[in-house]
Amino acid sequence: MMSKCFVISEIGINHNGSLDIAKKMITVSKDAGADAVKFQKRTIDLVYSEEQLNKFRDSPWGKTERQQKEGLEFSFDEYSEIDRFCKNLKIEWFASAWDTKSLEFLDSFNLKFHKIASPMITDENFLNEVSKRKKYTFISTGMSDFKMIDKAVEIFKKNGCEFELMHCISAYPFDNQNANLNMIKILKDRYQCKVGYSGHEKGGKLISLASVCLGATSLERHITLDRTMYGSDQSASITPKTFKSLIGEIRILEKAVIGDTEKKILEMEIPVAKKLRAHILK
């Protein structure tokens, strides 16, 4: 029997550093029926080298990588407002930390969930720090092999932290034929745990809906207010209208696959059987 799929609206950095845009994205996510919204948190000087930060990059915030990346980060006060806003709307929020300092930053908000972004699955020290907090953690498996996932699962089990793997293809966006949704069942069988799907496929709902049919227990999709907005993730994102439609269809699918485990004639089928088999009964 299929349980209710936990739907995460991945706001990420599509807010472009604007608290007003972030609030609009939270509001449309709630209206669409999402269970949670998710952001990304980085300590710029820890995640990127000085050489990288000094490189040229034309953006709304300046001409360097540092100015661009700092422009996308929210302050403590801004996250405090996001926390208040989400509580008023009655929607969960959390973030994927990309370093230990960011993880400590998020501790201030007593969030219900953690998220391991695909790049972080190889950082064993970071995995230990997250799992020691013993909060339900979604672990994305993009850019990884079984050996890497084995180690991550081992760490979370060792620290007694409940987790859920998420099948993920780390290309933004990727062609639908590369989705490899069979991996959902493979991961479930190998690790005996819940497995969700973090999708970056080209626009649309088909692959995400198929993942739910194949047993994904959670679904994460990037959303955007406008796919033409500045940002590298916008093209792999879906609009609020599509997101709302997607969630509505997921809820229909959940009901459609639930039924009796015994094959029997349904009450509604009896008159139909009587009519269509009349020539046999003669």
Question: Phi/psi of residue 241, each to 5°?
Answer: -65, -45
Closest CA to 85 of 26, 13, 33: 26
CB neighbour class for 77 (10 Å; exposed up to 12, middle 13-18, buried from 19):
exposed
| pLDDT tens sequence across 71-103 | 999 999 999 999 999 999 999 999 999 999 999
Neighbouring C-beta atoms of residue 266, cutoff 10 Å: 10
pLDDT value, residue 2: 54
Q: Are 223 and 237 in contact (CB under 8 A)?
A: yes
For residues 123 and 96, is the Cβ–Cβ distance under 8 A?
no
| Domain at 6-281: CATH architecture | Alpha-Beta Barrel (3.20)
Rounded alpha-carbon distances, angstroms, from residue 124 to 154, 170, 236? 10, 20, 29
- Residue 282's pLDDT is 65
pLDDT score recorded for residue 1: 46
Quote the mean pLDDT of the chain.
Answer: 95
pLDDT 10s digits, 167-215: 999 988 888 999 999 999 999 999 999 999 999 888 689 999 999 999 9
Q: Name residues of the chain where pLDDT drops below 70.
A: 1-2, 203, 281-282
